[in-house]
Amino acid sequence: MSESTPEERLRALRFLRRVQAVDLARTDRWIQDEERRAAEQARRRPPPATPDWALERGKRALPKLVHTGECWNSFFIQGITREQAIEALTRGGVPACPRCEPDKELAVLD
């Protein structure tokens, strides 16, 4: 096996770099195409339905307030069922939001 010269090794390495640059550019195009397709699908998908009731979580993910689904005041919310909202208000000790007053809508008053 013959030894290659430094010039031959450099030529081979430069060739390898060009091949890899072409491959990388192609991969970048594939990524952009997939991102475009995903964005298009997201635009066509209807927004998720607003839950009827929501539970706001505070520090350490502890329940903070119960809201109606349309309350704009809630930030960290989780959609919950009517039964879960009643449970949180009555037995869970979670207070009702003073703005949307879910306790009145659920007929659960103190």
How many domains does one find in the chain?
2
In a domain, 110, yes or no: no
First to last CA, the chain: 92
Query: pTM of this prediction?
Result: 0.55
Domain contains 68: yes
Question: Both 31 and 64 in a single domain?
Answer: no
φ, ψ for residue 15, nearest 5 deg: -60, -45
Question: Is there a single domain that holds both residue 33 and residue 13?
Answer: yes
**Sequence-separated (6 or more) residues with CB below 8 Å from residue 59:** none
| 57 and 99 within one domain | yes
Question: Could you report the per-residue pLDDT of 4-37, keeping only the tens digit for each?
Answer: 999 999 999 999 999 999 999 999 999 999 999 9
Q: Which domain holds residue 93?
A: 53-105
**60-72, pLDDT tens digit by residue?**
888 889 998 888 6
- On whether residue 1 sits in a domain, the answer given is yes
